[in-house]
């Protein structure tokens, strides 16, 4: 029975790693195609597509960095506390960047519907780049806060020393 359980757990782990790797590969290839198409087709260089390219870049980073880190965690790779903390920060930065890009797309579409006549004067290229920069800045600031001391290492060490 123990051998059966081990085989079953191994099969689940292989399936999980394979699925994660396939998702990561699809994310990278698909989003690279999105960026490539926008680069080749001048008519797609609109405000909305700047946000879509931002989303594609964030999702490429998820496919290249975050998914392999998730696989490492699932394989129970032992690592130093700060390496683990950095991995968590990378995950936070790029998932936040992806979410912030989706928010930017939603705001852009809202403005397009709400300000149909003034849309082009309100959404200038300068403002778009400023908003994109702000999205990425917020993503990095929020994602990297654990590296700058907002983590539970002290609490964990104190609780381990007191027991």
Tell me if 44 sits within 8 A of 94, measured CB to CB: no
Domains annotated on the chain, with CATH: 2-153 (1.20.1070.10)
Summarised one tens digit per residue, pLDDT across range 82-114 is 888 888 899 999 999 999 999 999 999 999 999
pLDDT digit string, tens, across residues 33-79: 999 999 999 999 888 899 999 999 999 999 999 999 889 888 888 88
Phi/psi of residue 92, nearest 5 degrees = -65, -45
Q: What is the average pLDDT across 143-162?
A: 70
How confident is the model over 5-20, as pLDDT tens digits?
Answer: 678 888 999 999 999 9
């Amino acid at each position: 029975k123990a051998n059966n359980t081990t085989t079953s757990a191994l099969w689940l782990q292989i399936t999980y790693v394979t699925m994660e790797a396939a998702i990561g590969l699809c994310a990278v290839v698909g989003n690279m195609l999105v960026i490539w198409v926008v680069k080749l087709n001048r008519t797609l260089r609109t405000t909305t597509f700047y946000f879509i390219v931002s989303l594609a870049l964030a999702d490429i980073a998820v496919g290249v960095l975050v998914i392999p880190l998730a696989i490492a965690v699932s394989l129970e790779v032992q690592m130093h506390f700060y390496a683990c903390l950095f991995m968590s920060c990378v995950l936070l930065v790029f998932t936040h960047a992806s979410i912030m890009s989706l928010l930017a797309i939603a705001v852009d579409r809202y403005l397009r519907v709400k300000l149909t006549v003034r849309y082009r004067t309100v959404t200038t290229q300068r403002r778009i780049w400023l908003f994109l920069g702000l999205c990425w800045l917020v993503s990095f600031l929020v994602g990297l806060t654990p590296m700058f001391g907002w983590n539970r290492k002290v609490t964990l060490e104190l609780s381990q020393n007191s027991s």
